[in-house]
DNA sequence: GCCGTTTTCGGCCCGACTGTTTTCAGTCG
């Protein structure tokens, strides 16, 4: 059993305990344990084997026993028994907005409802309305929650949410009563998918009502979820919820921090502040009844005697401890950025010619571009055979001869076949400046087979980079099963690059593995995997992910200037 | 269930809003 499955089971135990009305702190202990396991970079099997598992923060005797049982036997009697005490549908019901453990329990106990379908039916028959603690409104809210869930599947791609946030920002800044305004939340953390948009503002107390009315009159509003004096939520026509919170100027930095951090980051930081004798909330930092003024987030961290934590890191994944020790890594900030790799052209499935791509890259002030069309196994994408590779190289030679201060690099996105071999032989591969190896078929192998397949592919001396390592399509397709820990380890040993595929549909390498990649000295490249000129600038999404993954400037290949990248590839090229 | 430089018990982050109540529980972030 793998790390993710263990985490999922622990989380589910937490939810079931919550449904059964068990001690809320016990419930939380399971959630915390799940999170710890989920964000592990060490191999879980090894930790269990050595017994170190019990030393992890948040994992005590009980949890370490259960995790060990899961790892060793693949199942957990405690979990199975617990699960058999409640219908599985309750676990779905709890995901509906407005329904928590307590209310699900009431609905189940009083009406015998044990699935979302039954719940919807009961709402339509007005059977929830008369339950204690429920009413007309809650019945209606649950019903629209079910509808919305069906329609929008809960999360949105980063650029979709970003676009919506910019529109609402442009709308709100027209209101002159607003003093400061920022978009916070997971958008500001540059998370790959986003559930809602959090906007924070400062204003005078007497202007709150007017601003909230203005927010509620947003032309692209679909409906109002709640509307208070300092906090309101609306649903946009696109289906995304948007929160607005208002505070006075003195509290703005605190609210901005509060609304930016993940729940876990905030919980941990407040706990730490408390250890130092402070109380911290979205309004300020307090020592006894004394208010400690901060006008920027930088000052807040300073007052807490820790490094400033960049937004992208505020996930509650160990950044607070590092900041306390003043050991936060220096993150790549997008500068310098000299060139792109992994660009498709009309030779395979791209929309633009090499020349058009070159021109667009020059407009972006880049020094080089790596052309990477598909290889012959990708017949669906008009992949290149050996003959057309030659043609393309001749064309690139001509273009290069005509260019000053810009270089076209010869790359290829070569298909990794089922057995891990590549669909060009070494003599063809040797013609390229660099080679990206990607899996495009046979996603359903076992984890072992897939891991072996990918490791074999990157072990080919001509392969420079691994392309989209898990094949996931965000909100669309699950990653294929692969032991990325092993892949990263091998990539580190062999000096192979793992791309951060920067297409907003992929953002793969997952940033959660960045820490491990760094530990193994693996470099990355922010590859837009562009299939048109418009896609070239997708690399900017990769910058956010690289920061979340804690990559520094030196670990990002795009920071190499033309001269340096050419000599890097030459050095890596087997002779 | 976890944790400990006030350690083996008694804490465990904190506040806004809603819908239901008639002072608050539940949910959410």
Smallest CA–C1' separation from A100, nucleotide: B27
Residues A344 and A465 in one domain: yes
Q: How far apart are CA A448 and CA A451, in angstroms?
A: 5
> Å from A221 (CA) to B19 (C1')?
23
What pLDDT digit, counting tens, does each position of A525-554 carry? 999 999 999 999 999 999 999 999 999 999
Residues A205 and A264 in one domain: no
Q: Which residue is nearest to nucleotide B12 (CA to C1')?
A: A25
| Helix/strand/coil for A113 | coil
CA–centroid distance for A381 within its chain: 28
DSSP string, A324-371: HTT-PPPPP-S-S--EEEEE--TTTT-SS-HHHHHHHHHHTT-SEEEE
Residues A193 and A288 in one domain: no
Write down the pLDDT at residue A171: 97
Residue A101 lies in a domain: yes
Residues A76 and A96 in one domain: no
Smallest CA–C1' separation from A133, nucleotide: B20
Q: Residue A410: beta bridge partners? A: A371
Q: Retrieve residue A328's tokens.
A: 């936060």
> Å from A217 (CA) to B25 (C1')?
31
Domain count, chain A: 5
Residue A331 lies in a domain: no
CATH number, residue A215: 3.30.460.10
| Helix/strand/coil for A250 | helix
Residues A69 and A94 in one domain: no
Residue A332 lies in a domain: no
The domain in which residue A507 lies consists of: 339-572
DSSP string, A385-418: -HHHHHHHHHHHHHHHHH-SS-EEEEEEEEEBPT
**End-of-domain residue from the set A86, A105, A122:** A86
Residue A333 lies in a domain: no
Q: How far apart are CA A32 and CA A326, in angstroms?
A: 25
Smallest CA–C1' separation from A208, nucleotide: B16
pTM score, whole prediction? 0.81
CATH number, residue A4: 1.10.150.110
Smallest CA–C1' separation from A196, nucleotide: B29
> Å from A417 (CA) to B13 (C1')?
51
> Å from A247 (CA) to B10 (C1')?
35
Q: How far apart are CA A43 and CA A49, in angstroms?
A: 10
Q: Which residue is nearest to nucleotide B25 (CA to C1')?
A: A133
Write down the pLDDT at residue A476: 67
Residue A330 lies in a domain: no
Residues A452 and A480 in one domain: yes
Residue A280 lies in a domain: yes
Residue A334 lies in a domain: no
> Å from A267 (CA) to B29 (C1')?
11
Q: Which residue is nearest to nucleotide B11 (CA to C1')?
A: A25
Q: Residue A181: beta bridge partners? A: A201
Contact status, residue A316 vs residue A267, Cβ threshold 8 Å: yes
What pLDDT digit, counting tens, does each position of A343-399 carry? 999 999 888 999 999 999 999 999 999 999 999 988 878 899 999 999 999 999 999
Write down the pLDDT at residue A153: 64
Residues A227 and A349 in one domain: no
Smallest CA–C1' separation from A103, nucleotide: B26
Write down the pLDDT at residue A475: 77
**End-of-domain residue from the set A294, A324, A354:** A324
Contact status, residue A94 vs residue A19, Cβ threshold 8 Å: yes
Write down the pLDDT at residue A154: 67
CATH number, residue A307: 3.30.210.10
Q: Which residue is nearest to nucleotide B21 (CA to C1')?
A: A133
> Å from A233 (CA) to B22 (C1')?
27
Residues A208 and A318 in one domain: no
Burial bucket for residue A274 (CB in 10 Å: 0-12, 13-18, 19+): exposed
DSSP string, A3-21: HHHHHHHHHHHHHHHHHTT
* Positive or negative: CA dihedral A233, A272, A274, A52: positive
Residues A391 and A419 in one domain: yes
Residues A361 and A499 in one domain: yes
Low-confidence ranges of chain A (pLDDT < 70): 151-154, 476
Instruction: Indicate the DSSP class of residue A432.
Output: S
> Å from A3 (CA) to B26 (C1')?
32
**End-of-domain residue from the set A44, A60, A86:** A86
Residues A115 and A137 in one domain: yes
Q: Retrieve residue A342's tokens.
A: 């992994």
> Å from A138 (CA) to B26 (C1')?
11
CATH number, residue A136: 1.10.150.20
Residues A110 and A180 in one domain: no
> Å from A262 (CA) to B25 (C1')?
25
Residue A196 lies in a domain: yes
Write down the pLDDT at residue A147: 80
Instruction: Report chain B positions within 7 A of protein CB atoms.
Output: 1-3, 11-21, 25-29
């Amino acid at each position: 059993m793998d790390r993710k499955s263990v985490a999922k089971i622990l989380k589910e135990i937490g939810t079931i305990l919550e449904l059964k009305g068990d001690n809320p702190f016990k419930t939380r202990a399971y959630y915390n344990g799940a999170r710890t396991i989920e964000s592990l970079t060490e191999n879980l099997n090894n930790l269990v084997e050595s017994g170190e598992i019990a030393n992890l923060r948040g994992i005590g005797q009980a949890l370490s026993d259960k995790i060990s049982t899961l790892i060793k036997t693949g199942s957990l009697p405690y979990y199975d028994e617990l699960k058999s005490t409640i219908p599985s549908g309750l676990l779905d019901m709890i995901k509906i907005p407005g329904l928590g453990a307590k209310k699900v329990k009431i609905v189940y106990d009083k009406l015998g409802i044990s699935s979302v379908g039954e719940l919807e039916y009961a709402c339509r028959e007005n059977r929830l309305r008369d339950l204690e603690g429920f009413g007309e409104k809650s019945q209606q809210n649950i019903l629209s929650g079910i509808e919305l869930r069906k329609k929008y599947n809960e999360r949105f791609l980063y650029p979709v949410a970003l676009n919506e946030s910019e529109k609402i920002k442009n709308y709100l800044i027209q209101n002159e009563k607003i003093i400061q305004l920022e978009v916070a939340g997971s958008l500001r953390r540059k998370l790959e998918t986003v559930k809602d948009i959090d906007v924070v503002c400062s204003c005078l107390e007497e202007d709150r009502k007017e601003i909230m009315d203005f927010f509620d009159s947003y032309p692209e509003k679909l409906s109002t979820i709640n509307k208070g004096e300092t906090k309101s939520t609306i649903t946009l026509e696109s289906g995304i919820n948007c929160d607005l919170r208002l505070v006075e100027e003195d509290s703005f930095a605190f609210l901005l921090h509060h609304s930016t951090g993940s729940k876990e980051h905030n919980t941990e930081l407040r706990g730490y502040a408390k250890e130092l004798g402070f109380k911290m909330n979205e309004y300020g930092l307090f020592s006894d009844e004394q208010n400690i003024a901060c006008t920027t987030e930088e000052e807040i961290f300073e007052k807490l005697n820790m490094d400033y934590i960049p937004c992208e890191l505020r996930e509650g994944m160990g950044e607070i401890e590092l900041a306390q020790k003043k050991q936060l890594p220096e993150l790549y900030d997008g500068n310098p950025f000299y060139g792109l790799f992994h660009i498709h052209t009309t030779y395979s499935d791209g929309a633009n010619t090499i020349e058009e791509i070159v021109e667009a890259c020059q407009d972006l002030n880049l020094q080089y571009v790596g052309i990477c069309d598909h290889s012959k196994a990708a017949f669906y994408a008009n992949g290149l055979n050996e003959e057309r590779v030659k043609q393309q190289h001749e064309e690139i030679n001509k273009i290069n001869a005509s260019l000053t201060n810009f270089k076209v690099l010869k790359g290829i996105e070569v298909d990794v076949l089922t057995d891990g071999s590549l669909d060009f032989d070494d003599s063809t591969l040797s013609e390229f400046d660099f080679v990206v190896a990607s899996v495009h078929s046979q996603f359903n192998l076992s984890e072992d087979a897939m891991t072996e397949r990918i490791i074999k592919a990157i072990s080919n001396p001509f392969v420079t980079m691994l392309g989209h390592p898990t094949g996931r399509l965000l909100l669309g397709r699950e990653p294929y099963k692969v032991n990325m820990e092993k892949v990263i380890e091998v990539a580190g040993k062999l000096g192979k690059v793992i791309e951060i595929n920067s297409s907003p549909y992929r953002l793969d390498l997952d940033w959660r593995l960045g820490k491990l990649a760094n530990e193994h000295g693996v470099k990355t490249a922010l590859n837009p995997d562009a299939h048109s000129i418009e896609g070239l600038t997708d690399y900017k999404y990769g910058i956010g992910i690289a920061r979340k993954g804690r990559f520094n400037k030196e670990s990002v290949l795009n920071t190499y200037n033309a001269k340096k990248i050419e000599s890097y590839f030459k050095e890596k090229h087997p002779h």
